Amino acid sequence: METITMRQAKDFVGQEVYMNAWVTNKRSSGKIAFLQLRDGVAFFQGVVLKNDVSEEVFDLAKSLNQETSIKIRGIIQEDSRSNLGYELLVKDIQVIGESHDYPITPKEHGTDFLMDHRHLWLRSSKQHAIMQVRNEIIRATYEYMNQEGFIKVDPPILTGSAPEGTTELFHTKYFDEDAFLSQSGQLYMEAAAMAFGKVFSFGPTFRAEKSKTRRHLIEFWMMEPEMAFVEHEESLQIQEQYVAYIVRNVIDHCQLALKTLGRDTEQLEKYTKTPYPRISYTEAIELLNKNGFDDIKWGDDFGSPHETFIASQYEQPIFITNYPKDIKPFYMKLNPEDPSTVLCADMIAPEGYGEIIGGSERIVDYDLLAENIKKFGLSEDAYGWYMDLRKYGSVPHSGFGIGLERAVAWLTGIEHIRETSAFPRLLNRIYP
């Protein structure tokens, strides 16, 4: 007899199988016991009929504690009332591992308590659903990038220089030298783009951000494409096509997870339509000032209430383009139509989820880059290799970075980014 998971259930309807599972809950009345089970793949019900099993098995079913692991023999049945569509008619149960006093009970718990027990909290149906969506975004990302001819290049995590200055960097020692944990792989990806054309990286990045918001993690995953011979406008088109692609795949492949999370798929459908609206930084400032935001003027960066307001004027994600050069990093290309601004854009997600992508066209010219490196007070020695990219066949190129966890929070509709990572690193929390 085969041991299966719920992934295979549809091929085993009416057949007797073994399944390995954990008990999440149970209830019984007289002649019947219902076990709520999870096998890692799905949450489902096991039905134990008193007349159908031995007395020992029925008594055992009634006495199983939450999170006991069990091996079950039973028959897969269709069950139109369950989300999954299948249940298990139990014939026999064997305990694999006992469980006593599981700390997370079906009652409500506070966030701190749940975060302290993150290693166990992950077992809940909500966390399971969030990780399904995260996994789908990762899968669809690789699929899209491969289809579009990008190759994956992995930039280093230990770096000697930093793309955007050193304020938010994690410092460490590299033998006798100073080193930092990567806050972006971009500069290395620019080198890779000059070698391979269209490249992307997908890996962890670290920011020692002291801000405690529902959108910031200290360690998060970023996907960073970099494209040779691609100018700003084309880069925006690639960004919206890519985001629409991951939304489409999440809708199509995560139906159960979205249902568990109560996420309205009608709403998500709107985000599969491109192009996404664009508004320039300058227009955005005017819009804010006209609508009672007196706290911001041209030259200031947006705070999250600003981004939320601007995004709320639209039904889709939007691009805010052409920020002032003084509030953006040294490598961005000046906007030829207004050199007080740069050729960049942030993609702002709807529903208050804020910036999910930051991107720009990069400076091509050696002298302009050298000038900026000086102006920004960066070390010319550390950036020598990066300058080389402008010396030997420099070409127009653009790239962007999307934060995986921001995308997961947005598409799942959850309140706080901490639940998008299995073991989030937050300000004041590095345990468990």
Shortest Å, Cβ 406 to ligand ATP? 4
Give the integer Cα–Cα distance in Å for 56 and 259. 37
Provide the b/e sequence for 93-129 (b: ≥16 CB within 10 Å). Answer: beeeeeeeebeeeeeeeeeeebbbbbeebebbbebbb
How many Å separate Cα 5 from the centre of its chain? 26
The residue among 209 and 338 lying less far from ligand ATP, judged by its C-beta, is: 209
Among 261, 405, 412, 421, binds ligand ATP (CB under 6 A): 405
In this chain, which stretch among 14-22, 32-40, 335-343, 349-357 interacts with ligand ATP, using CB under 6 A? 349-357
Task: Tell me the window of 18-26, 134-142, 173-181, 403-411 that interacts with ligand ATP (CB under 6 A).
Answer: 403-411
DSSP output for 334-355: B-TT-TTBBSEEEEEETTTTEE
Closest approach, Cβ 7 to ligand ATP, in A, equals: 31
Q: Which is nearer to ligand ATP, 128 or 328 (CB)?
A: 328
Identity of the residue, 22 or 386, whose beta carbon is nearer to ligand ATP in the bound complex: 386
Q: Six-digit token pair at 178?
A: 């100073």
Task: Identify which of residues 185 and 358 has a Cβ nearer to ligand ATP in the complex.
Answer: 358
User: Minimum distance from CB of 380 to ligand ATP (Å)?
Assistant: 23
Distance of CA 80 to the CA centre of its chain: 32
In DSSP terms, 159 is beta-bridged to 180
Count Cβ atoms below 10 Å from residue 428 Cβ, excluding itself.
6
How many chain residues interact with ligand ATP (CB under 6 A)? 16
Residues 172-231 binding ligand ATP (CB under 6 A) are 207, 209, 216-217, 220, 222
The only residue of 140, 356, 369, 414 in contact with ligand ATP, by rule CB under 6 A: 356
Q: Which of residues 58-87 bind ligand ATP (CB under 6 A)?
A: none
Single-letter amino acid code for the residue at 137: I
Decide if 361 contacts 231 (C-beta within 8 A).
yes
Shortest spacing between CB 201 and ligand ATP, in angstroms: 12
List, in sequence order, every beta strand (DSSP E) within 12-150: 16-29, 32-38, 43-49, 69-78, 86-97
Binding-site member from 118, 134, 333, 406 for ligand ATP (CB under 6 A) = 406
Query: Contact positions toward ligand ATP, by CB under 6 A?
Result: 207, 209, 216-217, 220, 222, 354-358, 401-403, 405-406
